[in-house]
Amino acid sequence: MLQIDGLTWTLTIGLILGLLALDLILAAVRPHKVGFGEAVAWSIGYILVAVAFGVWLTLAHGGDFGQQYFAGYIVEKSLSVDNLFVFVIIMSTFAVPEEHQHKVLTFGIVVALIMRAIFIALGATLLSLFSFMFLLFGLLLIYTGIQLFRHRDEDPDVENNVVVRTARRLLPLSQDYDGGKLFTRLEGKRVGTPLVVVLLAIGGIDLLFALDSIPAVFGVTDEPYLVFAANAFALLGLRALYFLVKGLLDRLVYLSAGLAVILGFIGIKLILHWAHVDINENVPEISTPVSLAVIIGILVVVTVASLLKTRNDPSAKAHPGSLRGSRPSEED
């Protein structure tokens, strides 16, 4: 097992909170449209921080744990790109002004980290107490992968999200934004701005993604410290990555299909691990280097195939996929 002392945990969490605080301060003090150059600089910076952490981990604790961390980081990074699709849809659906998108994304990252920390603690506890949880996690990932593949050419219905519907029903809301305020005055009454609904929608989406991503990363490492670090460093770069690639997301037409295959593959890996531990030691397991190679291979194939598809067919458009079919419209 990976032995991590309290000081290392404290320093790791402190680094992540420090980077989050920097994001929050920038969003609050200087709300602005994030340009391409700024997005590139932040994206490279966050990737370098994540890689530097992986290098330190490898030197301090060995190559096997380093491989597990990088495999987990790549899985979470690829899933976060699909998360970006949904963020783009939410921003477009609610017409969030560009100067406030930075703040919304930072909020989304904070909520996602909190939810993932809770699920990591819960998942690690369950896995340590009940080995059959590997089987349940594996079946969950296979089911999710199948659903995502079936609805890979669809978009999630943000307006029909239960969180959004509940907020519209229970909260008095204005129709217009009031700068970056969550609440404003309308005819003498205190009401919420559309930004409240946007933040609630982002939080609801974060919860759904946490339910999928935590079992996925536990499929490549069962070390809670590595699971937390992989999630945290992947999410920290999400804000900058949004502004960097939001204009290119439409070209990744096969991303949802590729992610569905990755989730299914990790699900099979978890089931094999459960069978190896609980049924028979002769049941083969999938090693971390093999997992890393398969995941990277799938992402490379998906990216190249997507770019070739959109070059030959400019009308082709990517979709984030959905875990359930879209509701039929009233006209239908």
- The set of residues, in sequence order, having a beta carbon less than 8 Å from that of 92 and lying 6+ positions away, is none
pLDDT in tens, 122-169: 888 888 778 888 898 889 889 988 988 888 888 777 767 677 778 778
More confident residue, 89 or 248: 89
Contact present, 325 and 154 (Cβ < 8 Å) = yes
Cβ–Cβ contacts within 10 Å for residue 290, how many? 12
More confident residue, 107 or 259: 259
What value does the mean pLDDT take over residues 189-210? 81
What value does the mean pLDDT take over residues 216-242? 85
> Is residue 184 helix, strand or coil?
strand
- Side-chain-facing half-sphere of 193: CA atoms under 13 Å: 16
Q: Which of 24-28, 235-239, 298-302 has the highest mean predicted lDDT (pLDDT)?
A: 298-302
Which residues share a beta bridge with 189?
186
pLDDT in tens, 279-300: 888 889 888 888 889 989 998 9
> Is residue 153 helix, strand or coil?
coil
Which residues share a beta bridge with 173?
192
For the chain, how many helices (H) and strands (E)? 11, 2
Domain limits of the chain? Answer: 6-312
